[in-house]
Amino acid sequence: MASSFRIGLGEDSHRTTDGGPLRIGGVDVPHSKQLVGHSDADVLLHAVTDAVLGAAGLPDIGHMFPNTEEGNRNRDSADMLRLAYDRVVNNGYRLVNLDCVVSAQEPKLGPHRETIAQRIADILEVDAVAVNVKAKTGEGLGEIGRGELIAARCVALIEMI
């Protein structure tokens, strides 16, 4: 018999450029850099979107919101996550929890973790205890350590309704 629980993994990364603020998890974090992308480049919401879609066995964010469509240029990633999660729910699932990691040398995201987790919970209309956000640095190594790139990973646990 198949389990009523399913797990999905989402990953994303975006290069940084001058200008701010930095949008992470639907929250504008004060910073001198921002992320580059076709949409608003919210690396964390993109990882969350892929995680919930993957858990439900649905195609990824790029399939649902291709960067070849002009309508997705500068699109709000919160809107994309909301629409993706609606598909998950329409396929008979609900979110149990998310565990997310953002890798960024700067800015320090620890002080923003709770605000970011609450924003993601609000987008998904779930209790904030279902969303965990952790922050890691690049320890000065590689593209993340040099502040050239920010990456995010998220694991989503869903269950059949």
Dihedrals φ, ψ of 43, to 5°? Answer: -55, -40
Q: What is the pLDDT of residue 1?
A: 56
H or E element in which residue 28 lies: strand 27-29
Residue type, 2: A
Q: Are 9 and 154 a contacting pair, CB within 8 Å?
A: yes
Per-domain boundaries in the chain: 5-160
Q: What is the pTM of this model?
A: 0.96
Which CATH topology does 5-160 take?
60s Ribosomal Protein L30; Chain: A; (3.30.1330)
Q: Are 117 and 131 a contacting pair, CB within 8 Å?
A: yes
pLDDT in tens, 36-89: 999 999 999 999 999 999 999 999 999 999 988 888 898 999 999 999 999 999
Q: Are 97 and 130 a contacting pair, CB within 8 Å?
A: yes
Tokens representing 27 are 């929250």
Per DSSP, helices labelled H in the chain are 43-55, 61-64, 77-90, 113-124, 142-145
